């Protein structure tokens, strides 16, 4: 079985002295593709550089909501145009995060909308981060600014509103990661069965969110097999069938041609 990690952060300093070792482990465990995700201007430049250094890695560029106060969206536009031959496949991760602060809501919303507009201009999909902000995320995407070239909810935490958005928009997708192996309420499984397999991909968010039984360790893309196994249990379908499906879904979403 082949795996596609749709969301990782391999430019994180935690990998600095062992990056090639970790990536070799991933490759030996049939990880075919990785998307390295930007969270700031500096981080996005690093993500581009990483994608240019590894044939199987692609990049996104974006401003995480926690960086909305310090980074400017117009720099992403220049970044994209400075790298016409780079493997930038989406704008992200972008969105809203009220977990640590609610004082910067308006600034977060403004930067979120500006980045959706940028993605629409560049004809790219967006990768969404939303935490403790599902209603505002829903309102923006439904009533203010639609992502015209696709949307992926990273580390998806289902709510009624966001499920409806995914169901009603053909090119809106969800990604599940290691947290799917954590203890969940009954409602999570009920939500999961409302999402067609054609709208699901998998991710690790490495180095974060390692799955059970590796909680407390540094995550990496070789753990995708654990995530696919657990997801197949929840949906009650064959693991190999699911793994192949989410692999193809990821290629389609990011518009990557399989070698």
| Angle of helix 105-122 versus helix 74-82 axis, rounded to 10 | 30
With cut-offs at 50, 70 and 90, classify the pLDDT of residue 31: very high
The CA angle 26-29-30, to the nearest 5 degrees, is 95
Q: What tens digit of pLDDT does each residue of 51-90 get?
A: 999 999 999 999 999 999 999 999 999 999 998 777 999 9
* Total Cβ atoms within 10 A of residue 160: 11
Is-contact 173 152, C-beta < 8 A? yes
Residue 233 has pLDDT above 70, yes or no: yes
pLDDT at 253: 98
Residue 185 has pLDDT above 70, yes or no: no
Arithmetic mean of pLDDT, 36-57 = 97
Q: CA–CA separation, 244 vs 197, rounded Å?
A: 11
Tokens of 194: 């409302």
Arithmetic mean of pLDDT, 86-100 = 94
Arithmetic mean of pLDDT, 182-191 = 77
pLDDT at 183: 86
Residue 209 backbone zone (phi > 0: left; psi -120 to 50: alpha; other: beta) = left
Is-contact 217 236, C-beta < 8 A? no
Residue 151 has pLDDT above 70, yes or no: yes
pLDDT at 83: 87
With cut-offs at 50, 70 and 90, classify the pLDDT of residue 157: confident
Tokens of 169: 């928009």
Arithmetic mean of pLDDT, 233-255 = 97
Arithmetic mean of pLDDT, 130-144 = 94
Within 94-238, where are the H helices?
105-122, 134-139, 160-168, 186-192, 224-235
Domains and CATH numbers, the chain: 3-254 (3.20.20.140)
pLDDT at 101: 75
Arithmetic mean of pLDDT, 194-198 = 95
Q: CA–CA separation, 231 vs 220, rounded Å?
A: 18
Residue 130 has pLDDT above 70, yes or no: yes
The CA angle 19-151-167, to the nearest 5 degrees, is 130
Residue 186 has pLDDT above 70, yes or no: no
Residue 234 has pLDDT above 80, yes or no: yes
């Amino acid at each position: 079985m082949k795996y596609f990690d749709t969301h990782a952060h391999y430019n994180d300093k935690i990998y600095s002295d062992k990056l090639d070792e970790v990536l070799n482990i991933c490759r030996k465990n049939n990880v075919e593709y990785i998307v390295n995700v930007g969270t700031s201007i500096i981080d996005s430049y690093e993500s581009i550089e990483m994608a240019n250094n590894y044939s199987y890695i692609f990049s996104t560029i974006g401003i995480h909501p926690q960086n909305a106060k310090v980074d400017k969206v117009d720099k992403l536009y220049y970044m994209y145009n400075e790298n016409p031959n780079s493997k930038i496949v989406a704008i992200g991760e972008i969105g809203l995060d009220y977990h640590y602060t609610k004082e910067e809501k308006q600034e977060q919303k403004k930067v979120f909308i500006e980045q959706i507009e940028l993605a629409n201009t560049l004809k790219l999909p967006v990768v969404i981060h939303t935490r403790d902000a599902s209603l505002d995320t829903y309102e923006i995407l439904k009533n203010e600014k639609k992502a015209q070239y696709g949307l992926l909810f990273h580390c998806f935490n289902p709510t009624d509103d966001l499920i409806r958005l995914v169901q009603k928009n053909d090119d809106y997708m969800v990604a599940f990661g290691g947290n799917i192996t954590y203890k969940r309420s009954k409602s999570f499984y009920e939500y999961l069965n409302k999402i067609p397999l054609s709208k699901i991909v998998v991710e690790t968010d490495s180095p974060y969110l390692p799955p059970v039984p590796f909680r407390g360790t540094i995550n990496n893309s070789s753990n995708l097999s654990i995530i696919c196994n657990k997801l197949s249990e929840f949906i009650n379908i064959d693991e190999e069938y699911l793994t192949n499906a989410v692999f193809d879904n990821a290629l389609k979403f990011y518009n990557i041609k399989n070698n």
